[in-house]
Amino acid sequence: MSEQAATPAPTAAARPAEKAESLLLRHVAAFFESPLAVVGLAGLVLLVAAALAAPLIAPQDPYDLAQLDIMDGTLPPGAESLAGYTYWLGTDEQGRDMLSAILYGLRISLGVGAVSVVIACAVGASIGVLAAYAGGRIDSLVMRVVDLQLSFPAILVALVLLAVFGRGVDKVIIALVIVQWAYYARTVRGSALVERRRDYIEAARCLALPKSRIVFRHLLPNCLPPLIVVATVQVAHAIALESTLSFLGVGVPVTEPSLGMLIANGYDYLLSGKYWISTFPGIALVAAIVAINLVGDRLRDVLNPRLSR
């Protein structure tokens, strides 16, 4: 028997797996073709790693009042404390090391943004795909609610919700979920309306599969590419919105300062020349948002073949 004849042919189950793997590799290769996307991804990984490792690498615990010395308040970058410690990014009015405060603030800002997006994405995607599959009055009712939600500015809705809920990290997450779910519902609904006319959905219906299996095992997975892009961009939007709320004093509590609250703490000192209290947290916030947007913009080009250059 020849060697060619002895080689077994790939099974039908192996072909889709190989096709999916090759498609994933092509997407990864296309993503890394953009230098800006690589820079954004590297910056995002660095910021996330710094935020996760804040308790290990931060010179000071900004939440521990016993470590703060009011005599070290508003020291400029590079100044030394009475104990001989060097504050590389200076201190705020409470003697808090700005480098440590930024690292811990990144944890809250990135954490709130990521958690709120995951929950809002799950809720919005489920509602959107169910509305598209059901059609008729259910679809019309859901879309009218979505249109009503999107007709109001996000910051206004979040301010009203936090005025009712009160301050707190969990309250901010709930407010961001209520503000953002409609974006995912509209995105998934538009993709699901196209996908439900495909042959594989008709085949699933002919096999009398349960509707829940058709929606969540066949229809929803094929709507993921645009959902991934929207979710990535919405993380940056959620971080910016949380920082705005904290800057206005209705977001996270004072005991858990995020980047927005750190910027607000130094706002009154800008005209007195003590720029570092607001400037360095602002730079960290801008860096995180820009990095996420660079990654999201490249994902949009890679996952949408109509936009490929």
**Domain with 62 in it:** 34-307
Single-letter code of the amino acid located at 252: V
Residue that the structure tokens 């979710």 belong to: 231
CA-based nearest residue to 50, from 277, 259, 262, 242: 259
Q: How far apart are CA 211 and CA 217, in angstroms?
A: 10
End-to-end CA distance of the chain: 49
How far apart (Å, rounded) are the C-alpha atoms in residues 142 and 251? 29
Question: Which range among 49-53, 106-110, 196-200, 237-241 shows the weakest confidence by mean pLDDT?
Answer: 196-200
CA distance 4 to 123: 52
Distance CA 94, CA 70 (A): 5
CATH label of the domain that carries residue 299: 1.10.3720.10
Per-residue pLDDT reduced to its tens digit, 152-211: 999 999 999 998 998 889 999 999 999 999 999 999 999 999 888 888 888 888 888 888
Q: pLDDT for 55-112, tens place per residue?
A: 999 988 888 878 888 888 888 999 888 777 889 999 998 888 999 999 999 999 999 9
> Is residue 205 one of the residues assigned to a domain?
yes
Distance, CA of 227 to CA of 222 (rounded, Å):
10
Number of domains in the chain: 1
- Note whether residue 92 is domain-resident: yes
How confident is the model over 100-146, as pLDDT tens digits?
Answer: 999 999 999 999 999 999 999 999 999 999 999 988 899 999 999 99
> Is residue 210 in a domain?
yes
- Residue 27, domain member (yes or no): no
User: Residue 14 domain-assigned?
Assistant: no
What stretch of H or E contains 86?
strand 86-87
Domain annotation covers residue 4: no
Question: How far apart (Å, rounded) are the C-alpha atoms in residues 277 and 269?
Answer: 8
b (16+ CB within 10 A) / e for 241-256:
bbbbbbbeebbbeeeb
User: In the prediction, which pLDDT does 25 show?
Assistant: 85
Q: Is the residue at 147 inside a domain?
A: yes
Contact 266, 215 (CB under 8 A): no
CB 239 within 8 Å of CB 289: yes
Instruction: Assess if residue 17 is contained within a domain.
Output: no
Place 3 in a pLDDT band, splitting at 50, 70 and 90.
very low
